[in-house]
Amino acid sequence: GESVGLHLPTLSVQEGDNSIINCAYSNSASDYFIWYKQESGKGPQFIIDIRSNMDKRQGQRVTVLLNKTVKHLSLQIAATQPGDSAVYFCAEEAGVQGAQKLVFGQGTRLTINP
For another protein, give the closer residue by CB, 51 or 56. 51
For another protein, give the closer residue by CB, 84 or 93. 93
Residue whose C-alpha is closest to residue 84's, from 49, 37, 40, 17: 37
Cα–Cα distance measured from residue 90 to residue 62, given in angstroms and rounded to the nearest whole number: 14
**Cβ pair 6, 108 in contact under 8 A:** yes
Strand arrangement of the beta sheet that strand 62-67 belongs to: 4-5, 19-25, 72-77, 62-67, 56-58
User: Is 102 an interacting residue with respect to another protein (CB under 8 A)?
Assistant: yes
Closest contact distance (angstroms) between CB of 16 and another protein is 27
User: Is 104 an interacting residue with respect to another protein (CB under 8 A)?
Assistant: yes
Closest contact distance (angstroms) between CB of 65 and another protein is 18
Longest CA pairwise span in the chain (Å): 47
Which residues 12-71 are close enough to bind another protein by CB under 8 A? 31-32, 34, 36, 42-46, 49, 51
Binding site for another protein (CB under 8 A): 31-32, 34, 36, 42-46, 49, 51, 89, 93, 95, 98-102, 104-107
